[in-house]
Chains A and B, each alone.
Chain A
């Protein structure tokens, strides 16, 4: 009886682990649940910017687009992404758009099939999973529907889609590491707090740092552990380093939440952090509250993961409508890294996601 129960317990734990694991692995959005808030200002700005440009369908005929995205509730990043798309693909801008959201690949495929049958002109897709899209995209091609991928790539032949608009995660890591190298410390003793292992954000943001540490003699990883995007785990990891008495002067956290947890541990141990202080704090995602910490010089660096993709998609559609060729299938989103000594309130308003 007892063994049965424990076996079951383990089975349940395993199922849970798989579910969570997949979620993290697919999740391109570095922050599984930051603030899920509305970034209306940037979205609105995009819309304005577009209104200035000529409307693609000036003759009154709307371009029919079907947009399949992940659940806006997934994260603050996703919410910002969805709001941005909604603000762009409106009738005023010459679009007749339908939106469908799901975190499940099979549901997304069903929506896609339906949209293709409805006769949409463009299918905009942020796939939940990389696999299983070939047949749908072939259907789309046969029906004359053009496919544009955004935010996430899929395992399919390049001929099946027009363009893929994505973040370059390794570049995000490289930008952060380059910034860190530019700080000119004598010694880099780094606590590296990773996201869920295997997720695109984790792999990208870890890669650059690992290379740098291997290449430079004065760069050392005091600790490199995954806190699975979890602030509390990050706090415990940093606490354990503090307890062990090892010296460190950089915390490289792969998202804002974990950086916040790390800072909580530092605060409890009277270790100063921020601009000109003992420990450099680095985070990613550009949550508004995190950028505020930068503005107050409590943190030093925050790397962006750009959710504002609608303008890029709009450009691609306009080019296609004008019969132009898309030069590069893979379009990399422009992203920034913010330095606490340079950030302004305008940056927070424009690039921050979520609530303050």
Chain B
């Protein structure tokens, strides 16, 4: 009798782990780490080097992942909210990043001489406003005109990069001020890549917002059942628009990092296909792509796991052209695992297994 009970609690323990939303991204990370470890045990090594400006910086495979995965993590925050509230995804974030970056450069270019830091702040605030307006545009299409999110955002997906080019008269200004480079590189004296810091700030802010406001609860309520949310006095339309506006803010932050990385912009390729990775991060985090409940931490973690995957593929010299194919495999596995039919089948299997054991 007692033995049985112990077993039961053991079962529960395992089931809890497996059911935990962090399980899938953690498993994926473990598999990737194992691959890397077999191929090159040195991948885990982190060393301090000097960069060309003479500042000490951390360097190594893992630092690269943290560095270049940060944009994705920031976008995953917004994408998670949009997914939860609207039950669909925004595929225009890459194009929106181009717009935000273009606005930023346009203002910096017109700044002339003066306090560069102050101008950068102004430019960043304006690009935030522009990106949030475009987010609101998407949100209104989805919430008020009831257009499927993917279709609604297809508009900006198609037009966004042209708009970005138009904002700067098709010119590609190169801003050589070293201060701009801090946001995509290193701040002198701090050996940790700045994008990672920015990502941490964003993560902290969103967790505070989720903890101290009802945004998270309301978003989930709207995502689970819009009608009952409305009957309970929420305004589902507003919640959806807000989720898109938050994503817009994330886009502006990413725009700053991207522009800072190479101190210029290339409208047709900046942040290309980043929307696919952001959506994948949300899916990898175990969030239902059909809306409803969400787990922010899992999405953000998922984003870094995806960057880990990308960087691993680069390391194995997989052609960048073939990367989407590998990611597609991940998508397929995820979708199959979370499909209701498979879940039911797995449930049955475990039940049968248990019955056998008892017998």
Contacts and interface: CB of A to CB of B under 8 A. Distances in A.
Contact of A36 (B43, B157, B165, B186): B165
B170 A233 contact: no
Q: Which 3 A-B pairs have the closest CB atoms?
A: A36-B170, A35-B172, A240-B314
Contacts of B42: 245
Contacts of A266: 52
A2 B311 CA distance: 28
A235 interface: yes
A202 to B, nearest CB: 11
Interface in A230-246: 230-233, 235-237, 239-240, 242-245
A297 interface: no
B328 A10 contact: yes
Given A34-B266, A239-B64, A228 B320 contact: yes
A268 B186 contact: yes
Interface in B30-85: 40, 42-43, 49-53, 57, 59-61, 64, 68
B172 A226 contact: no
Interface stretch (B120-128, B218-226, B229-237, B269-277): B269-277
A36 B168 CA distance: 9
Contacts of A2: 288-290, 335, 338-339
A16 B338 CA distance: 26
B280 to A, nearest CB: 9
A34 B320 CA distance: 21
Interface in B245-269: 258, 261-262, 264, 266-269
Nearest to B327: A13
A225 B51 contact: no
Nearest to B91: A12
Contacts of A158: none
B17 interface: no
B51 A268 contact: yes
Interface in B171-206: 171-174, 185-186
Contact of A231 (B40, B157, B262): B262
B266 A32 contact: yes
B197 to A, nearest CB: 16
A272 B50 CA distance: 12
A17 B276 CA distance: 12
Contact of B319 (A225, A257, A261): A225
Contacts of B243: none
Q: Is the interface of A mostly helix, strand, loop or mixed?
A: helix
Contact of A355 (B91, B171, B270, B310): B171
B321 interface: yes
B261 A230 contact: no
B109 to A, nearest CB: 10
B284 to A, nearest CB: 12
A6 B335 contact: yes
13 contacts: A2-B335, A2-B338, A5-B289, A9-B150, A10-B331, A12-B91, A72-B170, A227-B320, A228-B320, A232-B258, A236-B311, A240-B61, A268-B57
A12 B154 contact: yes
B352 interface: no
B170 A73 contact: yes
Nearest to B193: A268
Given A9-B279, A37-B171, A268 B59 contact: yes
Contact of A257 (B68, B266, B338): B266
B88 interface: yes
B262 A237 contact: no
Given A236-B314, A264-B261, A243 B171 contact: no
A232 to B, nearest CB: 6
Contacts of B314: 225, 236-237, 240
Given A33-B268, A37-B171, A236-B311, 5 more contacts: A5-B89, A34-B172, A73-B170, A243-B43, A243-B64
Given A6-B289, A37-B171, A268-B51, A235 B262 contact: yes
Given A13-B324, A225-B314, A228-B272, A5 B290 contact: yes
A156 interface: no
A9 B154 CA distance: 11
Given A32-B268, A33-B266, A267-B51, A237 B320 contact: yes
Contacts of B53: 267
